[in-house]
Amino acid sequence: MCATDDRAGAGWMASVFLGKGRRCLTPAGGVFEAVVKLTHGCNLQCTYCYDRATRGEERRQNGAVMPVDTVRKIARDLLKMPLRSVILTFHGGEPLISFSHLREAVLAAKETADDGANLKLCVQTNGTLVTPEIAEFLASNGVAVGISVDGYCDNHNRYRWPAGAGWMERIGVAIRMLISYGIVPGVLVVASRANIAEMDSIVRWLHESGVRSVRVNPVRDWGRSILHWRDITVSNDELLEMYQRVGGCTTEINSRVLPSARTVERTLESIASVVAFGFPSDCCGEPCLAGRLTASFEPEGEVYICDCAPKTQEYLLGNIVNDRLEDLIGAASPNVARLQSRRCADIDRCKDCQWRYMCFAGCGIDAEVTYGRLCEAAPLCSVYKGLFHYVLRMFAGHKLQYLLSRPERVLGAEAVICPEGGRSIVCPPAAQ
C-alpha cells in the first residue's frame, strides 16, 4: 500500500474495522454520559442557542430548576447499572445562574457514589458568572469545567445578548481564575459567520491562555438559530477549510511542546483516533449509542435520547421522576430501537462509499432533522470525507500524533516520546 494514496488508506482502514467487528461499546461495561439540565434559565440569549428548541422562549426564561432529589435519583440509577463509569455534566440554560443550587446538586450526586464508584462531574457554562468562591468549590470537589467561547471581543459578543455587556472580558477572567485554582477548562466554540475566518487564531489564543482542549462545533439547525440561520451559518466547504487551518495551527503548536502542554481540537482528534486506534467515535458508530450510553435530562425530569437531539416526542424516553432509568434506556425503548436500526449499508450515498467503516453515515439524528428521514447520510458528510483525506495525509507525513492529546499509541504500535530540542517526537520501537 502506498501511504500517500487516500483510497488505499481507506481500504486498509475498512479491513481494520471489519476485522475488529465494528468496535462500538455495548451498554454493559461502557461509559455513560448524562447531560443534566439544572435549569433553562440563562443570563444570556445567544442567537445560535439550541436549548430553546421546541420548548418556547417563555418556558426557557421561566427559570424552572431541577429538584436536587431528581439529581440524586439520576446519579443513583446510573451507578446501579453495570457501567464502567458515569459522567454527569451539569448543563442549562446556565447552571451557574444559581450557584447555591449547583452546589447542592454536586454534593447530592457525590453522596450517591460509593468510595469505589467511578463518577465524574462536569459543568458546562458560558463563563460569565464564575467567581473565586465558585472556582474554589469546583476545584475542591473535582468538578471539570467547560466554557463556551466564540472568539475575540467583537466576535464573541456579536451573537450574545444583551449586547455590549463585556462578556468576553468576563470569560478571560474566568479562564485565568479557574486555572489558578487548578482547573484547566475545556472550551467549546460554535463556528459561525462571525468567527470562522479567524478560528485558527482563536485556537492559538486559547493555547496561550492555558487551554488544552477545544471543540469547534457547527451551528445546530434548531432552536433559536433557525430564526437567524442565514446570518450565522457557514457552508460545509467553509467548515472543512476551517478545520484544516485549525489542524495546521495545532500541529505547529504541538510539534514544539511536550505532550502535557498540547492543545487539541476534539473533532480532529476524534477523526485522527479512527486512524490511530482503529475504531469510530461514539457519535459515528453503528449502531448509534444515543439512549444506550447517552441521555439528556430536563429540569422537569423528561429523559431524551441525546442532548444533541431536539426535545420532541421522537427522541423522548420517559421521565426519571416516575420511572427507573434502566427501564427507559436501551434497545427496549422504541425510540432507541428506531435509531439502532439505521445502517450505512441501507443508505444509497453510503453503502459503496470508501469511508463507510470510518463514519458509519455520521449522526442519524442530524440526518433526520435536516432531511426528514433517518436513512440518509449526515449533513456534514462532505466535511467528514474531506477530513478523512486530510488526516490520512497527516498520517503519511508522520504528523498524525500532533492531532492527539495522547500520542503514545499510534496505529496500535508502542511508541516512545522523545523530547528533542524542545520538540516532542513519537519514535517507532525500532528506533529506540
Range in 89-103, 256-270, 323-337, 403-417 with the lowest mean pLDDT: 403-417
Cell numbers at 315, concatenated: 427522541
> What pLDDT, on a 0 to 100 scale, did the predictor assign at position 422?
36
The phi, psi pair for 186, rounded to 5°, reads -80, 155
> What pLDDT, on a 0 to 100 scale, did the predictor assign at position 90?
97
The phi, psi pair for 307, rounded to 5°, reads -70, -20
Q: E strands along 186-237, which residues?
A: 186-191, 213-218
> What pLDDT, on a 0 to 100 scale, did the predictor assign at position 253?
97
pLDDT > 80? residue 362: yes
Average pLDDT over the chain reads 81
Cell numbers at 118, concatenated: 467511578
Given pLDDT bands bounded at 50, 70 and 90, which one contains residue 423? very low
pLDDT > 60? residue 151: yes
The answer to whether residues 159 and 150 touch, using CB atoms and an 8 Å cutoff, is yes
Per-residue pLDDT averaged across 307-328, rounded?
91
> What pLDDT, on a 0 to 100 scale, did the predictor assign at position 304?
95
Q: Alpha-carbon Rg of the chain, whole angstroms?
A: 21
Which one is predicted more confidently, 162 or 329? 329
Given pLDDT bands bounded at 50, 70 and 90, which one contains residue 430? very low
Pairing mode, strands 264-265 and 213-218: parallel
Torsion of CA 191, 193, 194, 198, to 10 degrees: 60
pLDDT > 80? residue 336: yes
For the stretch 48-52, contacts whose Cβ atoms lie closer than 8 Å and that sit 24 or more positions apart, written own/partner, are 48/159, 48/190, 48/192, 48/219, 48/220, 48/223, 48/224, 48/225, 48/228, 48/232, 49/223, 49/224, 49/225, 50/220, 50/222, 50/223, 50/224, 50/225, 51/92, 51/93, 51/223, 52/223, 52/224
pLDDT > 80? residue 115: no
Instruction: Encode pLDDT of 55-114 as tens digits.
Output: 444 444 456 899 999 999 999 999 999 888 999 999 988 999 999 999 999 999 999 987
pLDDT > 60? residue 15: no
**Residue 52 to residue 330: CA distance in whole angstroms:** 26
Given pLDDT bands bounded at 50, 70 and 90, which one contains residue 402? very high
Compute the residue count for the chain: 432
The answer to whether residues 23 and 31 touch, using CB atoms and an 8 Å cutoff, is no
Cβ-proximal residues to 52 (8 Å cutoff; 6+ apart), any chain: 60, 223, 224
Q: Which amino acid is at 424?
A: S
**Residue 390 to residue 333: CA distance in whole angstroms:** 38
pLDDT > 90? residue 13: no
> What pLDDT, on a 0 to 100 scale, did the predictor assign at position 172?
86
pTM, two decimals, is: 0.85
Cell numbers at 310, concatenated: 431536539
Return the closest-CA partner of residue 263 out of 253, 275, 271. Answer: 253
